[in-house]
Amino acid sequence: MKISEFAITSPEMEILFLGSGSAYSEELGDSSAVLLVESKPLLCIDFGFTSFNKYKKEFDSVPSSVFITHAHLDHIGGLENLAYHNILHPKKPVTKLFVPASLVYCLHHRLGSLPNFLSDGGAQFWDAFQLIPVSDHFILDSLRFSVFESRHHAPFASYGISLKGRFLFTGDTRPIPEQIVAHASQGEVIFHDCSLRGNSSHSGISCIEQEYKPSELKRMVLYHLGSAEDAAELSKQHRVAFPSSRHKI
C-alpha cells in the first residue's frame, strides 16, 4: 500500500526511542529514535555511540535508513559500527543515509575520510552507505519528510525533521516556535530537546514553558535529557521519552 504525507489515520505509526539522553547521560543513552510503520522500522533518526547495539537488540537487524540531525558524535558515533557491519556482512547491505547538505563535509571529515578503514584495506567508510544529501525535504517509501533548521551552536549546524499530520522531531535545539508553526500545525506530536536547565545550545524547561503555547506543550514529548533524575522530575508535569518507550503518532 502506498502512503503519502497526508495519511493521518492509517497506517499505524509510532516513534520508538533507542536512547533519550544527552551526550553525558549514561543511564538514558544517546538520543536516537526509530519511526515504526505498522510495527516495522522505516527510518532511524540519529545514530550515536549507544545506538548500534540498542538497535540490534531491539530489531535483530541494522537500520536500512538513517537521518542525521547534526554531526556531534553522540548523534553520529554509531555510524562507524554500522559501516563495519555492512562492509563485513556476507550480504553487504547498504544503509540509506539522509544528511542535510550543509553537514556532508563535516560528516565526511569526522568519519568518512579516516584512512585504513579496514586493517586489510580494500574498503572505505562510504562503501557501507548510500549518501543522500537533502535540503528542505526527502522522500522515503512514498512518505515526504520535511527538513528544517534548528538552533544549535551555529547557523546551518543542526536540523529537525517532520512528517505532516504525524510528528516533528527537533534535533538538538533552543526553542523554535516559528518552525513548530510552519511544520507542526496539524496536531503533530512534537519531540523536543529539553532538560531541567538549558544553555546557549539546548532548551531548558523554563524557556520551553515560556516560548510555547499551552496547546503546543500538550503535544510535546521531551527528550535529550540530562539524567534519569531530570527525566523523573520533568515527568511529573510533562511527557518525557525513556529508552525503549514508544509513542503513537
pLDDT digits over 79-95, tens only? 999 999 999 999 999 99
Calpha distance 191→219 (Å, rounded): 8
For the whole model, what pTM was predicted? 0.94
40-59 burial, b at 16+ Cβ within 10 Å, e below that, comes to ebbbbbbbbbbbbebbeeeb
Q: Which residue, among 184, 194, 187, has the nearest Cα to 161 in the 3D structure? A: 184
The pLDDT-based confidence of 1 (bands split at 50, 70, 90) is: very low
Calpha distance 228→44 (Å, rounded): 23
185, amino acid identity? S
105, amino acid identity? Y
Q: Which domains are assigned to the chain?
A: 13-248 (3.60.15.10)
Q: Which residue, among 88, 86, 23, 27, has the nearest Cα to 52 in the 3D structure? A: 86
Calpha distance 46→71 (Å, rounded): 9
pLDDT digits over 62-120, tens only? 999 999 999 999 999 999 999 999 999 999 999 999 999 999 999 999 999 988 888 87
SS3 65: strand
